Structure 1
């Protein structure tokens, strides 16, 4: 009769603990990413709203040429200084500096297209940070607006 040598049982204690720790850390990183992505999305939406409002306000108050040239079926000309002043006023009234500390504002008036473009950039304020992520992420938004005169019937 041949005898099989007695097999040694493997000691699996501690393996499950490592798996639980690994899965918990992956789950925690996923939660942090979802929270940060949601915060970034909401801040970008807020900047989009500010850029839209500033561009519309600037295009409306910066319109020129109505009294000198009369109304035609084209977009109204924009006076660059009036547009810039209107955009600054709108952002100040909306509290953009308080909501987005360090906001950077760029205003461009296109004389050919007769439009106003407002670009906003601000540091992203994330509630949680992932190791290895950028230390100072930025978020931006831009909007273009023009004033077109429509002749009534």
Structure 2
């Protein structure tokens, strides 16, 4: 270089390649986040349905029919847990969400059933060095208490 200036031809190419890499990583992150979000939305629906089914099955009908609706219903934790297992089997949750786990909590004080579900999700575009699978979860709750307002 006779004029003493610097050669900038390689700098532009490096900048273009750098931006392309950043854009590809951003697209992968958005795609993976969308897949996890959609899986969680499905698990939300599943948890809500399981909680409603558990509350319905766990509340003893004798309380409502014998004492009338003036008294609170009482949840049977065993019936509620069995109802969740049956509901998940009936809707085919294990086929739709392989590796699904469910936990049922019955709060006798508030007459509430909480169902927590977790399932692994395979990320469609794993980032090199990052995980190719993760776990997402959702919680559904239902109560059988009478609102005395």
TM-score band, normalised by the shorter chain?
0.7 to 0.9
2:134 paired residue number: 137
Distance of 1:39 and 1:85 partners within structure 2: 31
Deviations 1:88-122 (A, max 9, x none): 11111221111111111100111111111101111
Q: 1:4-153 counterparts in 2 under 5 A?
A: 7-64=3-60, 65-66=62-63, 69-149=66-146
Aligned residues: 146
**TM-score normalised according to structure 2 size:** 0.87
Conservation of the 8 A alpha-carbon contact between 1:73 and 1:150: no
| TM superposition shift of 1:150 | 6.8
**Over 3 Å off, 4+ runs:** 72-75, 148-151
Residue 137 of structure 1 aligns to a residue whose secondary structure is strand
Structure 1 alignment gaps of length 5 or more: 1-5
1:66-97 deviation line (CA, Å, top 9, x unaligned): 26852233442111121111111111122111
Question: What TM-score, normalized by structure 1, do the two folds share?
Answer: 0.85
